[in-house]
A and B are shown apart, each in its own frame.
Chain A
Amino acid sequence: MIAELGLAALWLAAALAGLQTIAGFLAVRANKRTELGALIRPAAVVQGVFAGLSFCALLYVFAITDLSVKLVASNSHALKPMVFKLSGAWGNHEGSMLLWVTVMALAGGLIAVVERRLPDRTMQATLAAQGFVALGFYAFLLLSSNPFERLPVPATEGMGLNPLLQDIGLAFHPPTLYFGYVGLSIAFSFAVGALLTRQVNPDFARAMRPWVLGAWVFLTIGITAGSYWAYYELGWGGWWFWDPVENASLMPWLAATALLHSASVLAARDALRVWTIMLGVVAFSMSMLGTFLVRSGILTSVHSFAVDPERGTFILLLLALYIGGALLLFALRASTISEGKRFAIASREGALVVNNVMLSAILAIVLLGTLYPLLTEAFDVRVSVGPPYFNPVGAIFVVPMLLVMAVGPLLRWRQDRFTRISREMTVLATILVAALVVVALLGDVALLPLLGLALAAMLAFASFLPLRGRKLTRIPIATWGMVVAHFGIAVALFGMASESAFTEERLAALEPGGTTQVDDWAITLDAVVPVAGPNWTAIEGQLSARIDDGDPIEMRPQSRTFWAPPQQTAESVLATRWNGQLYAVMGDAAGDGRWQVRLWWKPFVTFIWYGGLLVALGGVLAIIGRVMDDLRRRSVRRRAAARREDAVSLESTT
């Protein structure tokens, strides 16, 4: 019964999305106040409610493990802990798509309620676009991936008791990225709405900005967590593999980063109108493209997903419809959007434009590298593109971007002279050169990590420079957000460069009792014991690691063999110090009673993820600051209106 209600709610939500779309486009065409136009906001709100109900119904059937529902029977089990029963609701294709449209519909409802700055017509166009995008996803769910499908005969037992998938990180990693993608879909709707009505102005940027920032925060957290997961779970000692699935999450982030900076320029200075619209379209395109690449299985990846060509075709059609449509609209309309305000190259806007171009170039490089295998495969050549391409080619644009990023926030809007900040620039250049020299003297460091360390030092200092000479308590929260986020980039960069420059690796074949040395660590293999789990057996190495005569740290890496499905995994173990991590992986028997143990000492590697979290924190601060500004501006406007009314009534009485 609940499942049928859920399905009914989903159909109703889809119908409302249809209404929202049609009413919206008709109202925009009519270009005057119509009764249809009055329907749009309520339709968006009720659509959100129905989608929410539908998702609650899915959570319910998972919570009670209703085995007559196909999705529950194939993805859950009565014996799972409750939290994994619930997360099982979105831990599969159908459920995750339902979560996606639910969040999208709720976000649509929210903008319908709170967004009052934009002209009515632009808002109608925005909600029409939002309804149209949602409609495609509803169609996808209802026509090809119905989550509420019943089994003709209820299953006696669920099939989803795979302990591998019962991981709290895995339960929350995909929704985090989805929130990011959905936020970008809202930005996309704003961009399309603005294109339809040619209303591109600072208010449009201010309305869009919290959604872009929110999406960006979620994407940042998602990528950071995903990278750490790959680092400790895959047991290869690396933290980024340029795998298509990783790139699929990185590309929307790059586009969102560019978008949020250009939206800031538009909000503050009414410049970069067309460019901001373009990025709004591109950012959401990248989300959909990522989803397509991951779900269609068109590219081979280390992440294995349940893939289905039919679903791939459906997503490709949606992609063609929305992105193709938006780009067509862009080509037709962009030339009629009036030019924004002009600015000098030496200005805050100028620096932001340079960084936007750099970010777009990096995005293009990642996109090309990700799609290149797809292109060559059409000519029957199979290639895989990896770090030897991405790292140096990306660096060509990352290095100038970081240099501009250090200086840009010091410049004034509209027009400035570099001579005004010559003192700051001298200090920064000194730090850069000094760091280069010190690191180069320290040892044999490759070019990219060397540059990375020096740039990180400079950027860490530079990120606090915008605070100089100001009273700390009077600095806007959004500015703190920028400072923290930029500092986070420096911290992450330091972690990456340090990991790549100073990591020590040791592959040792040890007898029980034997000791090996990695950096300052002496690691002893005390014993090797077999361990059995519910569906695996493992060889566990019992290691004790110590520095000098300090207390030993127990480390127990395992080499696990699963039998259903048969597969071997390395359960790595990390010992975290403030200045780095010791990473241990158990290998196979080397014969003659010795065991292979792979050890890494990775100085400051944790800074990569601390940096990522700082960047996300900066984003959160920026959202708080912007939303508070908006509320303040709104109350000022209201008070001014009230005062004006008073004045008018006063005049009429005298």
Chain B
Amino acid sequence: MSGWRLWVPLMLFAGFIGVAGYQLSQPKNEFIESRMVGRELPYFALRPATTDRPGIASAQFSDGQPRLLNIWASWCVPCVAEAPYLEQLKEQGAAIVGVAIRDRPEDVARFLERHGNPYTAIGSDDLSEVQFAIGSSGVPETFVIDGQGRITHQHIGDIRESDVPVLLEKLREAGA
């Protein structure tokens, strides 16, 4: 072995150090974005998660009305934090349907009683099947679905006060 070939390991290593150093200096993005944004909702039909609201099925989303599809659970703490902003969204005219992940009817009922019920319908996703199918990796997440049943936007994490106008705008775009 001789000449330039002996420098190859050092060059490769320098490349690695460069990339790793650059990545280390970047803020880490832990969010996993759904690949389903821009596509049709996958097929699903969920039984009601509570006695006073109906369940949901993918077919209902093609009636021309854009909706928010909120993935939540009674056992999820950030879901408590976002409850008032879901309420605000509802007051400002958003139609919200819920998917309760791995939940029990009595817990769902208690949560809604305590933190308000902005949902027109709540389906029960016992095995996270629908959650995975639409590409959500955590709770809570909120999807904007247009009137043709297409996913147009994904919001990861709890909804904060500043997110409310953004989501209303996305809903308006989806309706246009």
Q: In residues 305-344 of chain A, which contact B (Cβ within 8 Å)?
A: 309, 312-313, 316, 319-320, 323-324, 327-328, 330-331, 334-335
Contact status A371-B75, CB under 8 Å = no
**Does B13 touch A at the CB level, under 8 Å?**
yes
Task: Select which of A328, A331, A374 is within 8 A of B23 by beta carbon.
Answer: A374
Task: Select which of B3, B30, B32, B127 is within 8 A of A335 by beta carbon.
Answer: B3
Asked whether A316 and B24 contact (CB < 8 A) given A327-B10, A591-B126, the answer is yes
CB neighbours of B7 from chain A (8 A): 331
What 5 pairs between A and B have smallest CB-CB spacing? A327-B10, A331-B6, A331-B7, A335-B2, A334-B6
Residues of A within 8 A of B (CB): 274, 278, 281-282, 285, 292, 296-298, 300, 309, 312-313, 316, 319-320, 323-324, 327-328, 330-331, 334-335, 371, 374-375, 377-378, 382, 566, 588-591
Taking chain B's interface residues, is the majority helix, strand, or loop, or is none over half, making it mixed? helix
Asked whether A312 and B24 contact (CB < 8 A) given A334-B6, A335-B2, the answer is yes
A268, chain B: closest CB distance, angstroms: 21
A309, chain B: closest CB distance, angstroms: 6
Contact status B21-A374, CB under 8 Å = no
Asked whether A327 and B9 contact (CB < 8 A) given A316-B17, A374-B19, A566-B75, the answer is yes
A387, chain B: closest CB distance, angstroms: 19
Given contacts A330-B6, A566-B75, 6 further A-B contacts (CB under 8 A): A282-B9, A312-B24, A313-B21, A316-B21, A327-B13, A371-B16
Contact status A324-B17, CB under 8 Å = yes
A159 to B45, CA, bound (A): 46
A205, chain B: closest CB distance, angstroms: 18
B9, chain A: closest CB distance, angstroms: 5
A328 to B12, CA, bound (A): 12
**Does B102 touch A at the CB level, under 8 Å?**
yes
CB neighbours of A312 from chain B (8 A): 24
CB neighbours of A300 from chain B (8 A): 30
Asked whether A319 and B102 contact (CB < 8 A) given A330-B6, A331-B10, the answer is no
A316 to B33, CA, bound (A): 29
CB neighbours of A371 from chain B (8 A): 16, 19
**Does B81 touch A at the CB level, under 8 Å?**
no
Contact status A313-B13, CB under 8 Å = no
Residues of B within 8 A of A (CB): 1-3, 6-7, 9-10, 13-14, 16-17, 19-24, 28, 30, 32-33, 75, 77, 102, 126-127
Closest to B4 in A: A331
A199, chain B: closest CB distance, angstroms: 18
A361, chain B: closest CB distance, angstroms: 15
Contact status A323-B23, CB under 8 Å = no
A312 to B7, CA, bound (A): 26
Contact status B1-A334, CB under 8 Å = yes
CB neighbours of B9 from chain A (8 A): 278, 281-282, 327, 330-331
Contact status A588-B102, CB under 8 Å = yes
A463 to B166, CA, bound (A): 67
Contact status A377-B10, CB under 8 Å = no
Contact status A316-B10, CB under 8 Å = no
CB neighbours of A296 from chain B (8 A): 20, 24
Contact status B10-A324, CB under 8 Å = yes
Contact status B10-A328, CB under 8 Å = yes
Contact status A324-B13, CB under 8 Å = yes
A374 to B19, CA, bound (A): 8
A308 to B64, CA, bound (A): 48
CB neighbours of B24 from chain A (8 A): 296, 298, 309, 312-313, 316
A274 to B16, CA, bound (A): 23
CB neighbours of B16 from chain A (8 A): 371
Closest to A298 in B: B23
CB neighbours of B22 from chain A (8 A): 378
CB neighbours of A382 from chain B (8 A): 32-33
Contact status B19-A335, CB under 8 Å = no
A–B Cβ pairs within 8 angstroms, 10 of them: A278-B9, A298-B20, A316-B17, A316-B20, A316-B21, A324-B17, A335-B2, A374-B20, A375-B19, A588-B127
A382 to B23, CA, bound (A): 13
Contact status A323-B20, CB under 8 Å = no
Closest to B10 in A: A327
Contact status A274-B23, CB under 8 Å = no
B20, chain A: closest CB distance, angstroms: 6
Closest to B127 in A: A588
CB neighbours of A374 from chain B (8 A): 19-20, 23
B112, chain A: closest CB distance, angstroms: 20
A590 to B129, CA, bound (A): 13
Asked whether A274 and B1 contact (CB < 8 A) given A324-B10, A331-B7, the answer is yes
B27, chain A: closest CB distance, angstroms: 9
B169, chain A: closest CB distance, angstroms: 24
Contact status A292-B20, CB under 8 Å = yes
